[in-house]
Structure 1
Amino acid sequence: MRKVKQLQERVAVSDLRAAADVVIKNGRIVNVFSGEIYDGDVAIKSGYIVGIGEFNEAAEMIDANGQFIVPGFIDAHVHVESAMVPPSEFARVLLPNGVTTIVTDPHEIANVAGAKGIEFMLDDAATSPLDMYVMLPSSVPATPFEHNGATLAASDLRPLYQHEKVIGLAEVMDFPSVAAGHADMLQKIVDAEKHGGRIDGHGAGLSKADLNNYLAVGIRTDHESTTADEAMDRLRAGMFVMLREGTVGRDLLQTLPAVTAKNSHRFCFCTDDKLIDDLLEEGSINYNVRLAIANGIDPVTAIQMATINAATCHKLPRIGAVAAGYQADILFLRDLETVTITKVMKRGQVVVADGIREESRFEKTEVPFASPAIRHTLTLADLELRLASEKANVIGMQPNSLFTEHLVEQIVARDGVFQVSTENDQLKMVVVERHKGTGCVGVGIVKGFGIQHGAIATTVAHDSHNIVAVGSSDADIMLAIRHITELGGGIAVVHDGKVAADLALPIAGLLSVEPYEQIQKRLELLNHAFHDISAAEGFDPFLTLSFLTLPVIPQLKLTDQGLFDFSRFGFIEVGV
């Protein structure tokens, strides 16, 4: 009956029989359905828009002073954990950037802590104004080629669909399981469809023929396009295409030429993985919108891509538009070209004004979480890399890309043991299993970090989140790994035998318990410390390192079980 009464109240306001809670006057409304911009009042009752027209009675009148009134932005695919904060803290960063809704895949914390990790994210998100919809992780573990902390079968995921914020199945990374028709993977897809959810794809490196396997089982979205041609392949196949601009995956400018006036309704924006410092410096989806406009996309089209297109993609019928019956998630823009946000409303309440948060809306409520212990018994002997020849397969790191190159290079081996060459930028990379104490250690060679005297290590290592480190000496690598183990998870930079900077991530080795302002300062110190040991520039070293362990993206990656070749979809020896 409560919902019926709310609907009765909204109807009464819409036909002027009752006063609204809030009326926005003198605004220029961007209609994402028709593509028009026109003047009109916006009436709001109980957090929903109840009418567009002329309204003169309300508990609160807001004068827009001719500003543009647009829907709140939606991030169509993001991993909250990549910002290294819980959802409630993430909201404090996103809402000033006009992002009022996110669709997230919590597979990072799920790979460490299973269903309990997902439940923690849902519980924490409920304490903030931001709407966080969850796509359940489809691939925990992501592949059978690494050890993670948990396994989530279809039967483990099924109960979670009862949560109102769970809306589908997240990026299906294990393409071979789809192509081979593995029963549990297909059962996850069937369960998502049964609950009316969308199923996300993960088409990194897939051909047009490979995409047919995805389409055949009902997968209808993808965010892994890195070129306009790849985006068109997915569009022609009937997919919604998410254009990504994150910290490492910066694909928007390469994929944007695929967008036209005829097909733009099938495109939306996502960040996927973006660190706090980049979110604060650039923004989130508002940055994608600005970048798209600056590169030739019509402003109204860009706003559609950031709002109603994303809502349609994920079957979210009550967000993404300024229209009667839609949730009152509203942005005030000074102009459309620069996407300058002056006010943010969430469910009809002002949460940000002139860049300043209404902090009473963000009061912190602690959600307890018992992190699994970090377990390993690493010794210096485990870091030795024995080779049968002086030619090796080397991971070629590519700045600002999730992809790597498969290099074959001459290396130095003394008595059959690989020797780091800082002159040739051939550094040692190590992945240490940290969840179950298996003793598995993967050792390889990486090029691109430019470290001269030191090491970096982190417990953020997609997607299984073992410990990953790279450095110029075994001693420095060992010190960095020991330090983040003592922290209970985190990031560290070691400079000539001393810890130069660190960041503790005690929640599953992925998230901090500090406010994002403190994390930003820690990240600045970490970046300064990295530049003290390396001359390499133009990329984030820590997030880049964290993706060098992800075997579902081409070409060479390193897991705790060894060197993985995506083209063969199997392990290869480091030595040639």
Structure 2
Amino acid sequence: MEQHIKSWAETAPRLVAVAAGREHADLVIQGGRLVNVQSREILDGWQVAIVEGRFAYVGPDASHCIGPNTDVLDAAGRYLIPGLCDGHMHIESGMLTPAEFAAAVIPHGTTTMFTDPHEIANVLGLEGVRMMHDEALMQPVNIYTQMPSCAPSAPGLETTGFEISADDVAEAMAWPGIIGLGEMMNFPGVINGDPQMLAEMAATMNAGKTVGGHYASPDKGIPFSAYVAGGAADDHEGTAEVDAIARVRLGMKSMMRLGSAWYDVESQITAVTEKGLDPRNFILCTDDCMAGTLVNDGHMNRVVRHAIDCGCDPVIALQMATINTATHFGLERELGSIAPGRRADVILTSDLKTLPIDVVYARGVKVAEAGKITVDCPHYAWPEKARQTVHMGKTLAAADFEIAAPAGKNTVTAKVIGVVENQAPTEALTADLPVVEGVVQGEGKTCQIALVERHRATGDVVNGFVSGFGYTGDMAIGSTVAHDSHHMIVVGTDRACMAQAANRLGEVGGGVTIWKDGKEIALIELPIAGLMSDRPAAEVAANADQMVAAMAACGCTLNNAYMQHSLLALVVIPALRISDLGLVDVTKFEMTSLFEDENEK
């Protein structure tokens, strides 16, 4: 449980005594420039006094708070900014456990995360969510958990390892680290009044907590209004200025994301920088960040820098990653600003535009300096059942990946999932493909995709086609990270390589593997739920770098193509996806045939 900090009420007597000068602070920071995100000011020379992990005094002179045992830090003219908050993210996307994710992002200045563990929910259900929640509360920074809302993400279109019920949501609302409901991806269910979706949102609101949104449709008309009426309080699926404007006009918070593959800040922040909308209703987040991004590029500091580079005022950009986020989740009296009583999460930086993260304090403790973590991030004792989650049922062969053509056909017009670089949506494409001995062949830019069932050992394989990766030669890439159902996704140009990739993942208990010309050229082992490693981020990132190089060696030129690969089964984002039940037309939320017939043309 969260043992690292007492509540404001518990510490109020000491906070008052220190602020009044009757008692002495644990730490005083002098000689800096305080960035006040409450008033949008930079206050030269303002000082802070910290006791029991909270700010006691914030003002021009904290000398009355200093005693013989007080540590005094000279900020040497640097800026004091609040610890950064990530408003929406999935820890599992980093291929790391909460402990190792925290260890990776703390040196980048992230001291608060609002996480939705719906990836593990699909594999291990409510028990898996509890494991993530419990490890999160063991960390030296603030990791709040949103109870996943949609497992499966679209009932009737996929089969998950476990399902989340309204009763599960109601139970989780009483857990100490639960801050709200995870993104409500089943927007058609909400719009159509699905009783379970409405019950989940009601349980959240009855607990006084926040309902996360996910509206992936371009329709901003009546369906969008119906969705917002259901209670979703934020949305991170916007990709254009009109999306951001539509959301804030209806009282939602527009969460603008910059992840490893999502570049949606630049296209939306003009709602603030050019249209002049109130920036209080905009929040920065990452959604999905791979370990390589965290190690090499940063986390929320990277997002804030990017927002500034897009023309946003630096202090406003900081507000979008601190006080705006805290306020949205009802925590503005707890964190998100440098103000009396709040958790003493503070960063020292020498420049507000380039945002170097010199020193990081969380709850009054120095947790990182000069890019190095200075505290431990404790690990949860993950049980064996969390490490044995890949159940294929049989050893697969090349024949399992054959796609039979309709009788008598020499060519077919196949529906093809079209990958779009740096975006979550796919295109619904078609391709005329040849038939050899009754089996449809991938050709040119079109290769095969297969979903291998891995939760119930059915041995089922669903085959289809995908384009946009640019793969050439004989190759395959397989992954047990396949949002959101997290079956196994295999993409390849050679069916024998596809079988080798699938069998290899069964052998190692999950992860990512790449095969070329019959040999494995990259492997990331993800033994926890087939989603995460409890190894350090730098080690996982090194393996991920090898994976990226291997994808390039197979002809792929897309930026962060693995993120695109991992979303090919996400049956709540248009246009075409694959599931264990077949090909899914997400524009209609219904199953569709793999081949076009004359009536469809």
Common fold: TM-score over 0.5: yes
Mapping for residues 105-254 of structure 1, pairs under 5 Å? 105-143=116-154, 144-209=156-221, 210-254=223-267
2:62 is aligned with 1:55: yes
Q: Which amino acid aligns with 2:57?
A: G
With 392-401 and 297-306 compared, the bigger mean Cα shift is at 392-401
Match of 1:307 in 2: 322
Q: What is the deviation of 1:416?
A: 3.5
Q: 2:116, 2:148 within 8 Å by CA — same for their partners in 1?
A: yes
Q: What is the deviation of 1:205?
A: 1.8
Q: 2:497, 2:516 within 8 Å by CA — same for their partners in 1?
A: yes
Render the CA deviation track for 1:453-478: whole Å, top value 9, x for unaligned.
21100000000000001111110000
Q: What is the deviation of 1:287?
A: 0.9
Q: What is the deviation of 1:2?
A: 9.3
* Structure 1 counterpart of 2:340, from 324, 329, 336: 324
Alignment partners' CA distance in 2, 1:446 and 1:235: 36
TM-score of the superposed pair, with normalisation by structure 2: 0.93
Q: What is the deviation of 1:21?
A: 0.7
In structure 2, stretches of 5+ residues that fail to align are 1-5, 597-601
Distance 1:63 1:366, change over 3 A: farther
Q: 1:451, 1:472 within 8 Å by CA — same for their partners in 2?
A: yes
Alignment partners' CA distance in 1, 2:572 and 2:108: 31
Q: 1:28, 1:66 within 8 Å by CA — same for their partners in 2?
A: yes
2:14 is aligned with 1:9: yes
Q: Which amino acid aligns with 1:551?
A: V
Alignment partners' CA distance in 1, 2:422 and 2:557: 11
Mapping for residues 137-536 of structure 1, pairs under 5 Å? 137-143=148-154, 144-209=156-221, 210-260=223-273, 261-317=276-332, 318-358=334-374, 360-362=375-377, 364=379, 366-368=381-383, 370-371=385-386, 372-376=388-392, 377=394, 378-388=396-406, 389-421=411-443, 424-452=444-472, 453-534=474-555, 536=556
SS where residue 399 of structure 1 aligns?
Answer: coil
Q: Which amino acid aligns with 1:264?
A: P
Alignment partners' CA distance in 2, 1:404 and 1:537: 17
SS where residue 492 of structure 1 aligns?
Answer: strand
2:46 is aligned with 1:40: yes
Q: 1:458, 1:542 within 8 Å by CA — same for their partners in 2?
A: no
Q: 2:256, 2:268 within 8 Å by CA — same for their partners in 1?
A: yes
Render the CA deviation track for 1:416-458: whole Å, top value 9, x for unaligned.
321122xx21101000111012343221111112222211000
Q: What is the deviation of 1:315?
A: 1.4
Q: What is the deviation of 1:147?
A: 1.4
Q: 2:135, 2:379 within 8 Å by CA — same for their partners in 1?
A: no
Render the CA deviation track for 1:390-429: whole Å, top value 9, x for unaligned.
21111111111111111122111224321122xx211010
Distance 1:87 1:255, change over 3 A: same
Q: What is the deviation of 1:254?
A: 1.1
Match of 2:599 in 1: none
With 479-488 and 161-170 compared, the bigger mean Cα shift is at 161-170
Q: What is the deviation of 1:379?
A: 4.1
Q: 2:398, 2:498 within 8 Å by CA — same for their partners in 1?
A: no
Distance 1:231 1:188, change over 3 A: same
Identity %: 36
Q: What is the deviation of 1:363?
A: 5.2
Q: What is the deviation of 1:380?
A: 3.3
Q: Which amino acid aligns with 1:136?
A: M
Q: 1:551, 1:559 within 8 Å by CA — same for their partners in 2?
A: yes
Q: 2:136, 2:144 within 8 Å by CA — same for their partners in 1?
A: no
Render the CA deviation track for 1:284-326: whole Å, top value 9, x for unaligned.
1111111111121001100101100011111113110001111
SS where residue 181 of structure 1 aligns?
Answer: coil
| C-alpha RMSD over aligned residues | 1.6
Q: Which amino acid aligns with 2:589?
A: F
Q: What is the deviation of 1:206?
A: 4.0
TM-score of the superposed pair, with normalisation by structure 1: 0.96
